[in-house]
Amino acid sequence: MHTLNAHCGLDRDARGVARLTICNAGSLNILGSAVIDAVRAGLEQLATDAEIRVLVLAGQSERSMIGGADIKEMATLDQQSAEAFITRLRDLCEAVRAFPAPVIARMPGWCLGGGLEVAAACDIRIAAHDARFGMPEVRVGIPSVIHAALLPRLIGWGRARWLVMTAETIDAPTALAWGLVDAVAPAGALDETVEHTVRSLLQCGPEALRAQKALLRQWEELPLKESVDLSIGAFGRAFLTDEPKRLMQGFIERKR
């Protein structure tokens, strides 16, 4: 692993799979301002690399991908500095959402508050069998904000309301049943489960996947008819690459 900056380690392989490891942030990978800015900068740097086909977001410790935002720092804030702090965290979550290639969240252990907001901004969430999830902000006197707004879209209004208003934690099987995570790994098999999804993504056209991710971001925000009509141009632009001809021809030849 080499370092992009003080809080970002990077591993990548010949397939175009990159793993960004959040590091030097304590055993629970807590997001203070310095960590937030560094991880955002690392993501923005990697976003310019067209060779990356899949990004895995991970934490240095097996206790957490991101435990949450730094309560010790937040306890010192006033209105102005609080808005600056949460703006930085919003920008980190947006850097994940805007990353051009698919992003997989590798989620062992605890994922709370700001950590779950970052995870919600990822495309795919894969949890360890004993992972735990929650939105405990109201217990420390603040509302859940920014990319907590993605939660109703993921799990429905009732379950999102329950998470952000009760501050109760849920276990991995519950998170899977709710649709908060996409897969739960058997004990000791988190990396193997992540790798299974990585291989599925690598079987797809890389330009098609990038186009699909961009469409999904637009579909989250646009009315249905606009989403439908907008996607016609994206379909046409796919034929500006060699992927449709090459991959369709391969499909046809396999079927012979």
Encode 68-82: b = buried (16+ Cβ within 10 Å), e = exposed.
bbbeebbeeeeeeee
Q: Which is more confident, 247 or 256?
A: 247
Distance CA 42, CA 12 (A): 14
Contact of 118 with 69, CB cutoff 8 Å: no
Instruction: Report the pLDDT value the prediction gives residue 118, as an integer from 0 to 100.
Output: 98
pLDDT at 1: 86
Lowest mean pLDDT among 65-69, 147-151, 159-163, 250-254: 250-254
At residue 168, the pLDDT reads 98
Confidence of residue 256 (pLDDT cuts 50, 70, 90): confident
Secondary structure (DSSP) of the chain: -EEEETTEEEEE-TTSEEEEEE-SSTTTTEE-HHHHHHHHHHHHHHHT-TT--EEEEEESSTTBS--EE-HHHHTT--HHHHHHHHHHHHHHHHHHHT-SS-EEEEE-BEEETHHHHHHHHSSEEEE-TT-EEE--GGGGT----GGGGGHHHHH-HHHHHHHHHH--EEEHHHHHHHTSSSEEPPTT-HHHHHHHHHHHHHTS-HHHHHHHHHHHHHHHHS-HHHHHHHHHHHHHHHTTSSHHHHHHHHHHHHH-
Q: Which pTM value belongs to this model?
A: 0.97
Q: Is the pLDDT of residue 13 over 90?
A: yes
| Overall average pLDDT of the 143-170 stretch | 98
Q: What is the pLDDT of residue 255?
A: 82
Residue 11 has pLDDT above 90, yes or no: yes
pLDDT reported for residue 70:
97
Instruction: Please state, in angstroms and as integers, the Cα–Cα distance from residue 146 to each residue in 4, 107, 180, following that order.
Output: 26, 20, 17
**Closest C-alpha among 238, 218, 240 to residue 229:** 218
Q: For residue range 19-65, what is the model confidence (pLDDT) as tens digits?
A: 999 999 999 999 999 999 999 999 999 999 999 999 999 999 999 99
pLDDT given at position 82: 98
A 10 A CB-CB count for 96 gives 24
What is the pLDDT at residue 113?
98
